[in-house]
Amino acid sequence: MSISVKGIILAGGSGSRLWPLSRQQLPKQFLKLSGAASMLSATIGRLSPLVAKDDVWVVTGESHATGEAFSELEGLNQIMEPCGRNTAPAIAVAAALMQDLSGDDPIMVVLPADHIVADKDAFQACLNKAVEVAQGDRLVTFGIVPTQPETGFGYIQAEASGQGDIQNVLRFVEKPDLENAQRMLDDGNYYWNSGMFVWKASVILEEVEKYIPEMTALLNGMRARWNGGELWQEVVRDSFDKMPDVSIDYGIMEKSQRVSLVPADIGWSDVGSWDAVHEIAEHDVNGNDISGNVLAIDCHNTLLRSERSLIAAIGIEDIIAVETPDAILLCRAGESQRVREIVDSLKLGKERYHLEHVTVRRPWGSYTVLEGRADGYQIKRLEVLPGARLSMQAHQHRSEHWVVVAGTATVTCGELVKTVAKNESAYISIGETHRLENRGKIPLHLIEVQVGDYLGEDDIERFEDIYGRT
């Protein structure tokens, strides 16, 4: 009898420790940090051939699915969360859906979307072992074989003896200080907690009912609704915020008596900081990781990354410098875990450096802020892809003036539909219903001048949208 295996990819995180490249609206799981593929795409790829792409489901924030990450998520099975509620509710909802949509009891391979695994063959070998063990009603986790006394990870203690490569889990350990990390490394029966799991949908739901019964009560109500004919995504949108905010580790794994561990030596990194990015990167002869528009002379052990501006560095050592068009990060190597402190400080201010980039991707293309919200106006450059169109919308606080600089625009203003060619313009008054389309075969480029007393992106009332953002 064939085994049904589903991939569940958790892609709802914010990735704040990789600021300024990672932003709240486009976190690290959607970025290309290592190679040509995004971290999400690479995670899905390493499940093949055991799990086909059609059997992979991505759990992500609704704002990601309809915002900057749209192109990375397009065409994938998605479970959209209307708000963040940690990993236990996400996994429980996914398990229930996998049962109800498939009509059987599939094995779930639960992976974070933002990890790097260098040795795919070793990962596949561990995955096959984990699936075999999970058939015996066990909760299986991948324990990463530690290489150093790391204080940034949680640990898992396993029994000294196990059945072959499979070990029973004794306990989960919080992130230790350096002394305890060294002790656990010397012990040899401790592993880094990878956050990767394999189990039957029924088994994890049994443990949820046992240890988080209030979640089961809510989930049963949701299942009754979607099995009764309501659209399951609408049920999730309506009910998910009532779920308790709890991680799968704290809510289930630390309490369950059914946990097994597969030791995994797979070239793993959670890429949780710029130091981690530097560690896994290819280095030049001086230990530098250099990418983008960088000129480095007599530098050693540096990470220098430029998105646009030239970084010119002379004689520096043990420095991390990351440039994006609107922000620059500078810190000493070994200090990049503290980037989260910068993001926390930015959240207290009025600027949007933690939220989005100067260039913001949208399902229809992108816009780039050329001049910020100063003195009641804002200037943007818009790129609309061939065949794409923005939503039918209106603004209550701003007017817009569009000047076409390349391509041809189709502009709807109220009942009027007109063609606007290169070097021509269209004016949208406050409150007027309008839409912008590119019916051509080449990208459409415009300069947009907004004028008004409020210029926030939330001043958009959508009436119809082909990307589901109404």
Could you tell me the residue ranges of all domains in the chain? 5-269, 274-339, 363-464
Strands 327-332 and 319-324: antiparallel
What pLDDT does residue 457 have? 86
5-269 and 363-464 in the same fold:
no
Q: How far is CA 226 from CA 82, 108, 197, 244, in A?
A: 17, 21, 26, 20
Measured from the Cβ of residue 32, the count of other Cβ atoms closer than 10 Å reads: 12
C-alpha–C-alpha distance, residues 94 and 204, integer Å: 11
User: In the prediction, which pLDDT does 161 show?
Assistant: 60
Question: What is the CATH topology of the domain spanning 363-464?
Answer: Jelly Rolls (2.60.120)
pLDDT value at residue 389: 96
Q: Which pLDDT score, from 0 to 100, does residue 232 have?
A: 96
Rounded CA-CA distance 454/311 in Å is 35
Instruction: Kindly give the parts of the chain with pLDDT less than 70.
Output: 1, 161-164, 470
Contact 240, 85 (CB under 8 A): yes
Distance of alpha carbon 68 from alpha carbon 359, whole angstroms: 10
Amino acid code (one letter) for 326:
D
The burial class, CB within 10 Å (0-12 / 13-18 / 19+), for 401 is middle
Q: How far apart are CA 384 and CA 436, in angstroms?
A: 9
Amino acid at 445: H
Sign of CA dihedral 233, 239, 241, 243: negative
Give whole-number Cα distances, 352 to 54, 191, 451, 457, 461, in Å: 36, 39, 19, 11, 21
Q: Among residues 1, 418, 65, which one has the least CA distance to residue 233?
A: 65
Q: Which fold has domain 5-269?
A: Spore Coat Polysaccharide Biosynthesis Protein SpsA; Chain A (3.90.550)
The CA distance from 321 to 317, in Å, is 11
Q: Which helix (H) or strand (E) holds 269?
A: strand 268-269
